[in-house]
Amino acid sequence: MSERLPTQSAFNIGFPQEIVSGRPRVVQTDRKDPVLGQTILQEMREFLPDGRILEESYYRSDGTIAHRLMHEYSEAGEPTLIKRFEGAEVEKYTILAPEGLSNPLTARSPIEVQSGENGPVFTLFTPEQQVIGRAEMRLGDTVRELSWFADGETRPGMRRIERVDSRDNNGNWTQKTLFEQRGNGEPKPIAELYRRIAYYET
């Protein structure tokens, strides 16, 4: 099963945001570089009391906001649009809900989504409908993997791996290690993520 989803300009494949259990109000994620030892604010996410995400803010290494995402919903509560704010520029993203994912993705280029053996498979196209490559995801509770294949390649040129190291009482992760593997090399840790979650009172 596949579906061609025409959207806008360029798309950077990444893992979908995970659902946060409980009644999250604000989720803050800090990123630590294992080489430099520096920890910086990476993102802030604000939620509505019913669990729907309202706003996301992403930060540069100097602490300033790089861009914000504002989420919009239908009267039935379904996600319909994401607006991206960067300075005075505003972009609108198409919402994707590929089979096998528990929450939507956003896309900004033509993309085809298929159900793979271990998770969704994304094929990316240029605006001229030429294949750029494909990304295969393996989504587990503790480890998530994304393998990128350029067009015509049978072995991944790059793999990204996320490993959960600790969780809070609601089962949400509070610490992760990120790895990257290029070609035939070994996976190398590239960052540690630390997450603080403030919940609505029950």
Q: Does 17 map to a domain?
A: no
What pLDDT, on a 0 to 100 scale, did the predictor assign at position 103? 52
pTM attached to this predicted model: 0.78
The predicted structure's pLDDT at residue 49: 94
Q: Which residues of the chain register pLDDT less than 50?
A: 1-11, 99-100, 102
The DSSP element (H or E) to which 123 belongs, if any, is strand 120-125
Q: In this structure, is residue 92 part of a structural domain?
A: yes
Q: In Å, how far from its chain's centre is CA 75?
A: 25
Q: Supply the range of the domain harboring residue 143.
A: 2-7+24-199
Give the model's pLDDT for residue 15. Answer: 76
Q: What confidence score (pLDDT) does residue 11 get?
A: 38
- Pairing mode, if any, of strands 105-107 and 120-125? unpaired
Looking at residue 157, its pLDDT comes to 86
In-domain check, residue 59: yes
Looking at residue 9, its pLDDT comes to 28
Domain total in the chain: 1
- In a domain? residue 12: no
pLDDT of 106 reads 55
Does 104 fall in a domain? yes
What pLDDT score was predicted for residue 43? 95
Quick check: is 63 in a domain? yes
